Amino acid sequence: MEILENLWMLIEVGGPVMIPIFLVSGWLWGLIALKADWVWRTGRDQISLSDAMICLKSGQVSPSNSPRALAINHFMTTDNGTRCQNKDADKLLFDAAIRKQAGAIQKYIPTIIILAAVAPLLGLFGTVSGMVETFKVIGMYGMGNAQAMASGIKEAMITTQAGLLVAIPGIFIGQVLKKKANNIQQDLLVFQRGIVQWLDKECEL
């Protein structure tokens, strides 16, 4: 309850721009939590190349939810047991399975980067709004009403601070998650080359 009261006080002091800043912050950190959890689970649940080959030989679906396993499962589902009848078709099907997982790997990353970039712009908008109010007071009362001037300046400073507090850690964590996702994607491409080589040898037998 006290937290809600403090948030309401910030909105009263910072003005209406604080509401979209809070909404952007909640959306941003929600997506960061989801993506960080996915990256952590993917690192723990990754299957090896040998395990993937066992799945392909036996035709059994892997219980793992890692990109590697999902690509193998998707390939086996679309292949329908016709593997080695057409090597080129197999490669195309597996490439499609890999591309499908590549989209899932980058999920949320662009949105996180955009939201982190939007936050300081909202803070800047609040700064301009607060300074406009300050100049209005100066225009009406001159420099004699310090309390009214302070209200506009306080609004400008609080919105700027709030925008930066959301943006700085958001951009940093967003870039870390982007790097992690790119590493997972590169690993998936290496995994693809290994499976394609195995398919070539398997179909020659």
Domain that holds residue 107: 2-204
Specify the pLDDT at position 29: 94
Specify the pLDDT at position 101: 85
**In the predicted model, is pLDDT for residue 2 greater than 60?**
no
**In the predicted model, is pLDDT for residue 139 greater than 80?**
no
Model confidence at 31, in pLDDT bands (50, 70, 90)?
Answer: very high
Total number of domains constituting the chain: 1
Q: Answer whether 139's CB lies under 8 Å from 197's CB.
A: no
**Predicted structure pTM score:** 0.79
pLDDT of 74-84, one tens digit each? 777 776 655 55
Model confidence at 148, in pLDDT bands (50, 70, 90)?
Answer: low
